[in-house]
């Protein structure tokens, strides 16, 4: 199928939960609508930020269905469907396809640590089984293995693998991918702090955690960078710098959910083994949101 190219800022959505641990569907609907009204370019539910590892397949499908319903074709919906079991990844992908996702997001397998040729076969098997375009995700900090530039470029030749979300932190690796990628293959930062340098190098945008709370400013950053207005892009990067740091004082999405609670978007509920933000980090997150202009100092 033909899909719109992914470009700009996509939000790696948190999944709001009620105090009993069930999906808070009303808050999810409101969050998706607000993200779109703030100008976000695409949405990414059911990734690691969405706590997909603690959700059943039925719950993941429900979250994606709601996101698709509220988005109503206004922005692409890139559904996370990752698994370290290739057969399960295909099963999840087919369910996300039925739920109406426009794209799929798949990280390289975690824990079992296949060699590079196994990573290639994993992605190719998924691509052969589904019709949707796929964004591959390289995140060594979670998977314990790096997808090399050669592996990413091999996947770029697969027709429905359309982009890479690169979170290796290795800009020389990103530079190689950007230099040698085929036409139409997107390169997106998986690290908020590296979105600006990646776009200066010729990349296409970011899948962002901080845009859960500051979507408009992150959109301004990537749009300015894309247009060559690096002065504005740097100003937005500096404005968000404290929040980019604070968003990772503990494992994602712990700080993001605390921040969204501070700005009254969701309830601060996570599923074990994740737990709410430690009290000693609360002032850091709050101060970062004040610096970003999304929270008044007096707000509680």
Distances 292 to 76, 141, 182 between C-alpha atoms, Å: 27, 27, 37
Rounded Cα distance, 228 and 247, in Å: 27
Q: Is 230 a catalytic residue?
A: no
CA distance 38 to 70: 14
- Do β-strands 78-80 and 161-166 pair in parallel, antiparallel, or remain unpaired? unpaired
Secondary structure in 3-state letters for the chain: CCCCCCCEEEEECCCCECCCCCECHHHHHHHHHHHHHCCCCEEECCCCCCCHHHCCHHHHHHHHHHHHHHHCCCCCEEEECCCCCHHHHHHHHHHHHHCCCCEEEEECCCCCCCCHHHHHHHHHHHHHHCCCCEEEEECHHHHCCCCCHHHHHHHHCCCCEEEEEECCCCHHHHHHHHHHCCCCCEEEECCHHHHHHHHHCCCCEEEECHHHCCHHHHHHHHHHHHHCCHHHHHHHHHHHHHHHHHCCCCCCCHHHHHHHHHCCCCCCCCCCCCCCCCHHHHHHHHHHHHHHCCCCCCCC
CA 191/CA 77 separation, integer angstroms? 19
The catalytically annotated residue of 111, 124, 137, 230 is: 137
Q: Could you confirm whether 124 is annotated as catalytic?
A: no
Residue of 113, 124, 165, 230 marked active site: 165
CB count within 10 Å of CB 290 equals 17
Would you name the residues annotated as active-site residues?
Answer: 137, 165
């Amino acid at each position: 199928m033909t899909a719109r190219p992914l470009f700009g800022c996509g939000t790696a959505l948190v999944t709001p939960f009620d105090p009993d641990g069930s999906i808070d569907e009303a808050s999810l609907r409101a969050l998706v609508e607000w993200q779109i009204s703030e100008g976000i370019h695409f949405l990414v539910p059911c990734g690691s930020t969405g706590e997909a590892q603690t959700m059943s397949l039925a719950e993941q499908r429900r979250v994606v269905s709601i996101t698709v319903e509220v988005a109503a074709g206004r922005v692409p919906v890139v559904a996370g469907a990752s698994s370290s079991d290739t057969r399960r990844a295909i099963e999840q992908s087919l369910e996300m396809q039925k739920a109406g996702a426009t794209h799929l997001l798949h990280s390289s397998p975690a824990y079992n640590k296949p060699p590079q040729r196994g990573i290639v076969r994993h992605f190719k098997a998924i691509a052969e089984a589904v019709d949707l375009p796929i964004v591959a995700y390289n995140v060594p900090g979670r998977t314990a293995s790096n997808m090399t530039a050669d592996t990413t470029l091999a996947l770029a030749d697969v027709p429905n693998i359309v982009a890479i979300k690169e979170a290796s932190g290795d800009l020389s690796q990103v530079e190689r991918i950007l230099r040698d990628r085929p036409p139409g293959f997107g390169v997106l930062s998986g690290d908020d702090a590296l979105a600006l340098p990646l776009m200066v190098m010729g990349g296409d945008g970011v899948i962002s955690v901080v845009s859960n709370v500051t979507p408009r400013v992150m959109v301004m950053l990537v749009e300015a960078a894309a247009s060559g207005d690096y002065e504005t892009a740097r100003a937005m990067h500096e404005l968000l710098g404290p929040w980019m740091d604070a968003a990772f004082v503990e494992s994602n999405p712990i700080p993001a959910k605390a921040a969204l609670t501070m700005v009254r978007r969701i309830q601060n509920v996570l599923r074990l083994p994740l737990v709410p933000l430690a009290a000693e980090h609360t002032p850091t997150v709050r101060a970062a949101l004040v610096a970003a202009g999304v929270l008044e100092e007096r707000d509680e």
